[in-house]
Amino acid sequence: MKNNLGLKELSDKELQERLEAEQMQLVKMKINHAVSPLENPNLLRTTRKNIARINTEISLRKKA
């Protein structure tokens, strides 16, 4: 089931900040996972999906 991130209520600037934070988190998780396995490797997938949701919301706003 899709997580309700409340993206529609955020401003454009907040969306960009959230996107950068999620991308940095993903990079850190990938590095940590390469060194020693994460307790929950599904977090990588969840973070990638959150990034995609944020990008989708940004592109929808640009079209409107």
pLDDT digit string (tens) for the chain, length 64 residues: 466 678 888 999 999 999 999 999 999 999 999 999 989 999 999 999 999 999 999 999 999 8
CA angle 5, 62, 25 (to 5 degrees): 40
Q: Is residue 52 part of a domain?
A: yes
Q: What confidence score (pLDDT) does residue 1 get?
A: 44
Residue 45 in domain: yes
How many domains in the chain?
Answer: 1
Tell me what pLDDT residue 5 has.
Answer: 75
Its pTM stands at 0.88
pLDDT for 48 equals 96
Domain containing residue 58 = 20-63
User: Among the residues of 1-64, which ranges form H helices?
Assistant: 12-35, 42-63
The token pair at 29 is 């998780």
Residue 34 domain-assigned (yes or no): yes
In a domain, 4, yes or no: no
